[in-house]
Each structure stands twice: as C-alpha cells, then as structure tokens.
Amino acid sequence: MYLGESLKKYGISLDEINLKAGIFGAEMWTEEMRHKIEETLGIKALNIYGLTEVMGPGVAQECLEQDGIHISDDHFYPEIINPETGEVLGDDEKGELVLTTLTRDGTPVIRFRTKDLTSLMSGNCKCGRTTKRMTRITGRSDDMIKIKGVMVFPSQIEKALLSVDGVSPNYQIVVTRPDILDEIEVKVEATPDLFFDEMKKMEEMENKIMGEIRSEIGIKVDVTICEPESLPRSEGKAVRVIDERNFE
Amino acid sequence: MKEILNKGDNMKQISVFLENKEGKLRSILKILGDANINLLALSIADTSKYGILRLIVSDNNLAIEKLNEANFTVREDEVAILEIPDKPNGLNSILEILEEGNINLEYIYAFSTNKLDEATTVMKFEDLDNAISLLEEKGAKILKEEDLKDI
C-alpha cells in the first residue's frame, strides 16, 4: 500500500513499472486487504506462509488461482490438531497447524506446533497441482499477537507496565487496523499514583508508560489512562487482548 | 456555610479523574450533593480521552471518602485562593507580580461569589509557599479557610 502511495506521489504510472504479481506474508491479512493491494498496484497479490522454526517463508505458497495456499507437502507433512486436546482433525476442520519436516537433514522438526490457526482443504486446486492446500491463517492458539509484523506477547506489555510505579495489574490491550496499518492501545486504570491535577503531568505519565512499552516490544503504542474498576478483573483468565482486526 | 473547611495553612483542592463518558460529571456531583457537600468552585481540564475535574468543596475529607467509595480516583493538592480587585487590569496586576518573581502559574480558574467588588480565583503553582509569600508581600489578598465561610 505504501509502495502504491509512493508511486502516486512521484507520478509514476502502473504501466511503467511492469509489475505482475506480488507475494505477501509475515503477518495476517484479509481478502479485503488483497483487493486493496491488487487495485492499488494493478497486480495479483498472493499469500505466502512460513515460519522461522521450519524454514522461514516458503512452507506454503498460493498459486494464481488464489484458492488456498499450496503446502510443499513433499518436504513438510501438515496436520491440523485441536489445540486444547491435541486430537488430529480432518480436512476442512479448523485447528492448529502442526508441521513435520520430511527432507531436512541436521535439524528436523517433528510435529512442530505452529500455534497458527487454519484448516487443510479437501479436493484439488484448479491449477493442476495436487499438493495439500491450507486456508488463510485466521488467528493464534496462544496469546501472541502480531502487530505491524512484530511478534508481541501480552506478558511483555505487562512486564513493561509493572515496571512503572503505581500501574495496576489490570490492563487491556486493544489492537485495531483502522486502515491498512495496525494500531495498538494499552489501557491502564487511573490509580492515585497515575493521576495528577495537572494535564502536563498526566501526559508525562502516559509518555513514560509508552516509553517503557516501546523499549520492551519495539513498537509505539497509544496509552490511555481510564477509570478505576473499568477494566476486566483477572478472575480466571482476564480478557487482556481485544483484537478488533478481522482476519476471518 | 456551617461546615468547617480543611485544616492546615494552605487551601486544598480536590481533583477527580473523569472519564469521557455520558453522565460521569453528574454522578460525581450527585455523590457530593447527597453527602451535603457544597461546591465553591469547579473547573474541568479535558482531552479527547478524559478530563480532570478540579473542585473546591466545603468538606474535603468527606468528599474524598464518598468519591473513593464510588471508585473514583481522587487527589488533594494545595492551591492558593486569591481575591482580585474586580476592575480592569485586576488579574493582570497579579500576573505581573508573578512574572517579576519568576513564578510559574500552572493553572487558574474562577470562583462564583456574591461579592461585587472582588473576583475570587484559584491558582496552582509549582512552588506554592514561595508564590504565596511573594503575593502577600506585594499586598495581594490570599484567602484562608475562614474567609470562605462568607462566600
């Protein structure tokens, strides 16, 4: 999207650059996003899947039919399991992707739990390839969130928050994607230590919290101080992360 | 007014964290009203996300207790309450004193009183004691708690 905007900015027309297709990965994206990219750049936008522990990008790649991501199943054996019970699920059932390398020497991985939620598709692709296909990744089975392509665990944000005196252990992380870029808001409750009669000091406190989080996770977040008791308590499993991005 | 204002030499203001939600201000005022606490002055500093409600009330301890019970975040800070001649340049003359004394005014808001010749304002300074002694030295009238009974 940024490329598209830059082309427009410098007055370069799409015909001049002769782009035909693009391969996109590293974070979750949606069909809507695909349409936007294709429209902006005049290309076919294709999905790639991979993970560092297995080989990086290239475990699976979409073809021009854009109907599922072809897994290179001559090299990687895919399974879908129920993340709670470990039970192996059938085709078209959604669960956690588990991969086993078949051809890797030295450091094979056996039934590696990717924590990525997807399903394996039944039937064959119109393109003629007969490999197993997986659907677009729609979420995670752990609490990791990927923001602007960066892996973030709520525990990292919690660690940063609790390093600031007076921050209560009740916090909430809200992830949104208003347009094409992720935004992350961290809500903390206004304890007496976080509350001042002067706006200047309130802002200093928000900036301090923001700085702590940034040095922990490497990206800038928006910090909002909100009313005490307004965030869910940690009875059982508190809902720490509200991900309003829709990947379904 | 029959309630006795807070003890101590300097006047104290209470501040309440105010979330930008419908009915929040009213619910605070209702808590104070139900406890028979009088509001002498009020100001709100606001951002797009929240506000800071600053109040001078007739009974700080009771107000803090009642607001804490209702889960509001409250704090108490020392401020100066000044009586300023209600005429052109009245406030200006006070600000001039502060400027010459290199004293920073953090914020200011007004009282509504039934006095005709004087305007009453609340001022917050980083260095309150210094500000008060300078203002008194230059003849400005700083109110103490007993003065507020007549307002």
pTM of the model: 0.69
Q: Which of A56, A95, A104, A117 is nearest to A77 (CA)?
A: A104
Confidence of residue B28 (pLDDT cuts 50, 70, 90): very high
Cα–Cα distance measured from residue A77 to residue A103, given in angstroms and rounded to the nearest whole number = 10
Which residue of A lies nearest to B48 if distances are taken between CA atoms?
Answer: A224
Residue A237 pLDDT more than 60? no
Predicted confidence (pLDDT) per residue in A191-200, tens digit: 888 899 999 9
Whether the CB-CB separation of A230 and A122 falls below 8 Å is answered with no
From residue A124, give the alpha-carbon distance in Å to each of A74, A77, B42. Answer: 16, 17, 71
Confidence of residue A23 (pLDDT cuts 50, 70, 90): very high
Cα–Cα distance measured from residue B66 to residue A188, given in angstroms and rounded to the nearest whole number = 23
pLDDT at B5: 41
* Average pLDDT for chain B: 87
Q: What is the DSSP letter of A200?
A: H
Interface test mutation site (partner A, options B17, B68, B69, max chain A beta carbons within 10 A): B17
Q: B26 versus B1: which is more confidently predicted? A: B26
Residue B2 pLDDT more than 50? no
Which residue of A lies nearest to B24 if distances are taken between CA atoms?
Answer: A227
A167 contacts on B by Cβ (under 8 Å): none
Which residue of A lies nearest to B125 if distances are taken between CA atoms?
Answer: A198
Which of A199, A225, A229 faces B45 most closely, judged by CB atoms?
A199
Which of A191, A198, A200 faces B73 most closely, judged by CB atoms?
A191
Predicted confidence (pLDDT) per residue in A75-103, tens digit: 999 999 999 999 999 999 999 999 999 99
Average of per-residue pLDDT across A192-216: 92
Give the number of other CB atoms < 10 A from CB of residue B40: 21
Residue A233 pLDDT more than 80? no
B53 contacts on A by Cβ (under 8 Å): none
Predicted confidence (pLDDT) per residue in B118-142, tens digit: 888 999 998 899 999 999 888 888 8
A190 contacts on B by Cβ (under 8 Å): 17, 50, 73
Predicted confidence (pLDDT) per residue in A115-171, tens digit: 999 999 999 999 999 999 999 988 888 888 888 888 888 888 888 888 888 887 778
Q: B112 versus A119: which is more confidently predicted? A: A119
Q: Which residues contact A85 (CB under 8 A, 6 or more apart)?
A: none
Angle, alpha carbons A214-A151-A120 (nearest 5°) = 160
3-state SS, residue A161 = helix
Which of B47, B54, B71 faces A197 most closely, judged by CB atoms?
B54
Q: Which residues contact B126 (CB under 8 A, 6 or more apart)?
A: B104, B106
Cα–Cα distance measured from residue A35 to residue A24, given in angstroms and rounded to the nearest whole number = 13
Which of A199, A226, A229 faces B52 most closely, judged by CB atoms?
A199
Q: Closest approach of chain B CAs to the CA of A223, in angstroms?
A: 10
